[in-house]
Structures are given as C-alpha cells and as structure tokens.
C-alpha cells in the first residue's frame, strides 16, 4: 500500500507586528471513504503560447469522484504574469509568478480544470495529480 503525505510550513519572523509566525501541518492522503493511501500520480510541465482558456486536466486521468488531489505551480519569473485557474466556468483564482495551489478535485461530470495564461508569450506551469 502506498502512502503519500502532503506537508506545508509557513514561517515569518514579523508577519504580525512584534510577533512571529510558525505554522506546520501534514496529512496522509487517503482514498475516498477509507484509510488506504492514494497510489497513483501523474505529473508534467506544460507551456502555453497564447491566451484563452485551455483544459489542463479532465476526468479521464483520475477515478471519477475519488479522493483526487491537484498541485499546480506557475513557473513564470515575471511578476506581472499569471494563470487564471477554473473548474467548469467557476474561476478559483489567479496563480501569479511562483505561486502554487493544492486542492481536492471531484472530477465527476464536467469538472475539468482549465487554465488561462495572462499573456500570449511562453508561460509554463507544472502540475501533479495524486489519485486513486
């Protein structure tokens, strides 16, 4: 049985005036409804050369309605560039240069993940899907 653990740590000596912040959490990623670890992973890097919404992930890559987890990172180093991330037509937000996201994904129906680059020049992102 595979075990996949996601971890996050946030630290700042001065985020709150006169006080520091140190936050760490980790979680074993399990299949839907059981304590068995997620066993499959798909990853890649994609380059976009035009603006307009493009499908990044569709339900064919995962178990529909399973405990799917998605990581996406904007690899741009230009602070003015972003990817707009959406599921169906619902915009989740913008990933600015160097930003990343980690979300659960219910892939059933037409819940495909799309990205829309802010510029028509070369923009890259990386993604990882951990799934059943």
Q: pLDDT tens across 24-64, in order?
A: 999 888 888 888 888 888 888 999 988 888 888 877 778 77
* Mean pLDDT for the stretch of residues 70-95: 94
pLDDT over 90 (residue 73): yes
pLDDT of residue 15: 72
Distance separating alpha carbons of residues 119 and 123, to the nearest angstrom: 8
Contact 129, 61 (CB under 8 A): yes
Which of the residue ranges 16-25, 90-99, 115-124 would you say has the lowest mean pLDDT?
Answer: 16-25
Contact 103, 93 (CB under 8 A): no
pLDDT of residue 127: 93
What is the pTM assigned to this prediction? Answer: 0.86
What are the residues whose beta carbons fall under 8 Å from the beta carbon of 17, sequence distance 6 or more? Answer: none
pLDDT of residue 75: 97
Question: Can you name the residues that pair with 24 across neighbouring β-strands?
Answer: 9
Instruction: Give the neighbor-by-neighbor strand order of the sheet with 82-87.
Output: 54-57, 113-117, 82-87, 90-96
Contact 104, 67 (CB under 8 A): yes
pLDDT of residue 74: 96
Q: Domain 35-131's class?
A: mainly beta
pLDDT over 80 (residue 116): yes
* Mean pLDDT for the stretch of residues 80-105: 94
pLDDT of residue 62: 82
pLDDT of residue 1: 59
Q: Find the distance separating the first CA and the last CA of the chain, reported in whole Å.
A: 12
What are the residues whose beta carbons fall under 8 Å from the beta carbon of 96, sequence distance 6 or more? Answer: 74, 79, 81, 82
């Amino acid at each position: 049985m595979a075990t996949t653990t996601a971890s996050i740590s946030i630290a700042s000596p001065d985020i709150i005036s006169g006080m520091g912040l140190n936050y760490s959490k980790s979680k074993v990623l399990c299949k839907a409804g059981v304590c068995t670890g997620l066993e499959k992973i798909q990853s890649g890097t994609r380059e976009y050369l035009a603006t307009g919404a493009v499908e990044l992930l569709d339900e064919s890559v995962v178990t529909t309605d399973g405990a799917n987890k998605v990581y996406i990172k904007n690899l741009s180093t230009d602070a003015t560039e972003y990817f707009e991330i959406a599921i169906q037509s619902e915009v989740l937000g913008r990933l600015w240069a160097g930003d990343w996201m980690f979300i659960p994904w219910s892939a059933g129906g037409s819940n495909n993940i799309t990205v829309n680059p802010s510029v028509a020049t070369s923009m890259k992102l990386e993604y990882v899907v951990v799934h059943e």
